[in-house]
Structure 1
Amino acid sequence: MSFHLSSTDIRVDDGHILRARLDNGGGEHVDAEFDLNTVLGNNNGNFEWGGSDFSHSAEEVTFSIEGDESVPVLRARLRNMEGNAEWRDVNLSERITNQGGSFVFQE
Structure 2
Amino acid sequence: MGFHKSSMDIKLRNGHVLCAYCRRPTGEAIYSELDLNEFLGAKKGKFAWSAENFSSSASDVNLQFEGPTHEPILHAQLCDGNGARHEDRVNLADCIKNEDGHLRFMDCF
Q: TM-score category by the smaller chain?
A: over 0.9
What is aligned with 1:99? 99
**1:37-77: CA deviations, max 9, x gaps?**
00000111100000000000000100011110210000000
TM-score, structure 1 as length reference: 0.97
Q: Which runs of 5+ in 2 are unaligned?
A: none
Q: Which runs of 5+ in 1 are unaligned?
A: none
Q: Does 1:15 align with 2:10?
A: no
Compute the displacement of 1:2 (Å). 1.4
Q: Residue type matched to 1:84 in 2? A: A
Residue-pair matches, total: 107
**Structure 2 CA distance for aligned equivalents of residues 24 and 14 of structure 1:** 26
What is aligned with 2:38? 38
Residue identity (%): 38
Q: Residue type matched to 2:50 in 1? A: G
Q: Does 1:68 align with 2:95?
A: no
**1:5-50: CA deviations, max 9, x gaps?**
0010001110000000000111011000000000000111100000
**Structure 1 CA distance for aligned equivalents of residues 24 and 64 of structure 2:** 23
Runs of 4 or more consecutive aligned structure 1 residues displaced over 4 Å after TM superposition: none
SS of 1:56's equivalent in the other structure is helix
